[in-house]
Every structure is written in C-alpha cells, then in structure tokens.
Amino acid sequence: MAASHLEIYRALAKSNCGRCQLPSCLAFAAAAAAGQKLLADCPLLDEATKERLTATLHGRPEQELYKFVKDLSQLEQQVAALDFTVIAPRIGAAVKDGRLAIPSFGKAFEIDCQGRMRSECHVMPWVQYPLLAYAASSQHQLPTGAWIGFRDLPGGLDLHNLFCKRCELALKKLADAHPGLLHDLAELFQGEEAAGFEADTALILHPLPHFPILICWQAPEDGLESSLNILFDACCKVNLPIKAAFSLCIGLAQMFEKIALLHR
C-alpha cells in the first residue's frame, strides 16, 4: 500500500524549517505523497527513513529516480563553482542579475551563485536534477539534426527496457486515448511539428536549449497497433548524462499524463 501524506508527516521533524522550499512539514508531506516532492528534499530525514518510505511511496521506477537525484547537493556545488558568464552562451542560457537563467519549455529556471534554483513555476526534482546536470556538463555540442534512440545514448542500453515501459509505452497509451494531446503539447510547450517522418504526428520539444527530443506517434490502422517512439538529437549524447536524461523523460511522461486529464 502506498504511503499516505500522514504517514510521511509522522516521520518528519515537524520543524517547518522551510529548507524544502515549502512553508510547512505538512505541506511537504502532501507534496511528497502526490509525487511533487522527493523525500530527499527534506534534509532532516535520515537515509533509512527515506528508503523505507520511498519503497512504499512510488514503486521501482521512482525508486530509481530517487537514487539519481540524491546527489542534488553535489551538483549544486559543482554549478556554484562555475563562471556563469562563460558557460551561459555555450549552453544556450543567459545571465540575469548574477543568476544563470536556463529556458525550459518557455519558462526560465534561474540558478544562483550557490547552485540553488528558482522559477515562476514550481521546481520539481525531475526538472532540477537535469537542469543542474546540464549546466555542470564539462562538454557541450550544438544540435545536429540527426536522431538516435535512447539505447544509443551512452549508458542508455542498461535503462532501455525501463525507459520503454515508463516513457514510450506510457505516452503511447496517452496518445491513443487522446489523439489531440500531442498537438496540444506542441502549443503549450513551444514545440514544433516535424515533417519527413513516417508518423501521424512528429513533434519536436525542447526541454533544454540544446536537448531536443522527437516524439513520433503512429495511430492504429488496419488491425495494426499504434506505435510511439522517442528520439534524441545526437548532441544529447554529450549534453546530458544518461541518468539525468532518464529522469527528465520520466518526469515529462508524468507531467503529460496530468495534462491528459484535461482532455476528459
């Protein structure tokens, strides 16, 4: 049985310290139960409690995601040591009032000199981790226009089966149930429909400035099942570590699922 927000709340220090960026421990417990916060965002929870609650809170895929984002503080330190004026033009970002501003889906996410992130919208862990990893990447490449599969990314083969299940299959079910969803996503997130692909819908999205992804969906026809594939520009092999790319895609799938509810 999944942990409730009250079970999570009972495990918290109830100090309302605000270090999770929420006003109270009760608010944090509710956000964690809803998947909007990770237990790792509470600096006062011990590791044993985090592991115990995470195991019942989300299940295996989110446990994987939890493991990936546990090192957020280390990434914050890496980014804090960077010269923003040097890396900003290289990664398609800007410097605003001393903060590194990285655009994502039309929104600006700003990182201060201590590596802390803020935005006009809620900063989810699956957004925070990839953006920090993107900024901290020692190498960078501009988009090439060549598309590859997830398994072709460095380290992608090990996570390929889970990626297919949690991302491609999840999005395929959404697109099948809501045929207009992908077009709405293009409008909502400043995406663009691509030509020249054998698909009913081919949508390019830019979750990061130099990290384009291509979603190709083929509707069911003549007894054949539908299909959906997610492809990545070849530059993604360099611009983001595989764990960050994986968590980003899982987060996108979860966000799109919530958007699909509006189609009902």
For the chain, give the percent of residues with pLDDT over 70: 89
pLDDT in tens, 231-253: 999 999 999 999 899 989 988 88
Q: 130-152 burial, b for 16+ CB within 10 Å, e for fewer?
A: bbbbbbbbeeeeebeeebbebee
Confidence (pLDDT) at 264: 54
The answer to whether 207 and 104 are in contact (CB under 8 A) is yes
The mean predicted confidence, pLDDT, of the chain is 85
**pLDDT of res. 61:** 45
Pairing of strands 201-208, 117-119: unpaired
Of 40-44, 59-63, 85-89, 132-136, which gets the smallest average pLDDT? Answer: 59-63
pLDDT digits (tens, 9 = 90+) for 106-116: 788 999 999 88
**Domain ranges (residues) in the chain:** 5-58, 72-136, 147-263
pLDDT at residue 70, rounded to an integer: 58
Place of tokens 């999005």: 171
Distance CA 30, CA 36 (A): 9
Where on the phi/psi map is residue 83: left (φ > 0), alpha (ψ -120 to 50), or beta?
A: beta
Give mean pLDDT, residues 75-92.
Answer: 94
More confident call, 95 vs 124: 95
Distance CA 186, CA 175 (A): 13
Q: Render 97-148 in DSSP notation, one character per residue.
A: TTEEEEEETTEEEEE-TTS-EEESS---HHHHHHHHHHHH-S------S-EE
> For domain 5-58, which CATH number applies: 1.20.1630.10, 1.10.15.40, 1.10.357.10, 1.20.1260.10?
1.10.15.40
Displacement of CA 201 from its chain's centroid (Å): 22
* C-alpha closest to that of 122 among 5, 214, 36: 36
pLDDT score at 66 = 52
- 20-34, 44-58, 168-182: range with lowest mean pLDDT: 44-58
